[in-house]
Amino acid sequence: MSERDFKKAAVIGWPLTHTLSPVIHNHWMAKYGISGCYEKRPVAPDSIGDALAAMKAEGLVGFNITVPHKEAIIPHLDKLAPLARLMGAVNTVKIEPDGKTTGFNTDGIGLMANLQQNLPSWPKDRPAMVIGAGGAARAAALGLLNENLPFVVITNRTREKAEVIAKEIGRGRMVVVDWKERNDVALTAGLIVNTTVLGMHGNDPLELDISKCAKDTVVYDIVYQPLVTPLLKDAEAHGLRTVTGLGMLVYQAAAAFKVWFDIMPEYDDELRERLEAVFR
């Protein structure tokens, strides 16, 4: 087998202690008969250019990007796909045989696919609430703006960052509210999406009063470490329906896999069992 036949991909970020991406992509590479491997590569913020040059030299087909590099990678790329340009963030890069690079963003695809697969009947007669103002918040907002909702509310501890998102992609259908008003907004929402790292292992929990939300309200947390965050535990305790962030990880990975290998992989039972075993 030649080196060209052996396909390599990776994920970069800083740090990279809890990523499940290798489990997902190596499962799919084996399933679809692709000889190769997917590995994690911790890359410090000041080493992005060197890391990219190394991956080109090694002949990688592409790589995923997680925090804090999703925006910082952009000046190092040759092209951006339209959605990545609109979002101002990249989570997937394809490296052509000649070394040319294209940045993509599959976060929004993964976020909405996870919601549609788990709770396709979520209430759309009330606004959706997006918490946060990073790349994942932009992805959530873009996906939700394509649904038949009255409008999308966004709130963030730094209001100015939320205002930037509303201005750039809101199409007149996004409302920015102050952080201190988030509990009042939650009462009116049909869907609440936490896109912050609040509730992740090692971080403070998200403080949000959902005790008086309507019983058909859906609470969606993109954090998957832990799988059931304090926010989701609280939602379950109040009888609300919940969506974990694990499916978003898988579905955004599937879209990335298709970018590299032109195969849309399946979230099969074997992969589901492998991932769920991590949390047992």
User: pLDDT digit string (tens) for 98-144?
Assistant: 999 999 999 999 999 999 999 999 999 999 999 999 888 999 999 99
Q: What is the CATH number of the domain that holds 18?
A: 3.40.50.10860
**228 and 116 assigned to the same domain:** yes
**82 and 118 assigned to the same domain:** no
**101 and 112 assigned to the same domain:** no
pLDDT value of position 3: 59
Q: In this structure, which amino acid lies at residue 180?
A: K
Q: In this structure, which amino acid lies at residue 210?
A: I
Which residues in the chain land under pLDDT 70?
1-4
pLDDT value of position 1: 46
Region of residue 132 (left: phi > 0; alpha: psi -120 to 50; beta: else): left
Q: How many domains does the chain have?
A: 2
**113 and 239 assigned to the same domain:** yes
Q: What is the CATH number of the domain that holds 160?
A: 3.40.50.720
- Give the active site residue among 70, 161, 167, 258: 70
The gap between the terminal CA atoms of the chain, to the nearest Å, is: 38
**138 and 43 assigned to the same domain:** no
**148 and 234 assigned to the same domain:** yes
d(CA 86, CA 146): 14
The answer to whether residue 161 is catalytic is: no
Specify whether the CB–CB gap between 231 and 254 falls below 8 A. Answer: no
d(CA 21, CA 39): 8
Q: What is the pLDDT of residues 164-173, one digit of tens each?
A: 999 999 999 9
**227 and 133 assigned to the same domain:** yes
Residue with token string 């000889």: 35
**C-alpha count within 13 angstroms, C-beta hemisphere, residue 194:** 28
**46 and 146 assigned to the same domain:** no
CA 7-13-191 angle, to 5 degrees, is: 105
**192 and 221 assigned to the same domain:** yes
pLDDT value of position 2: 53
**136 and 229 assigned to the same domain:** yes
The pTM for the full model equals: 0.91
pLDDT value of position 4: 65
**225 and 259 assigned to the same domain:** no
Q: Which domain holds residue 187?
A: 108-244
**33 and 73 assigned to the same domain:** yes
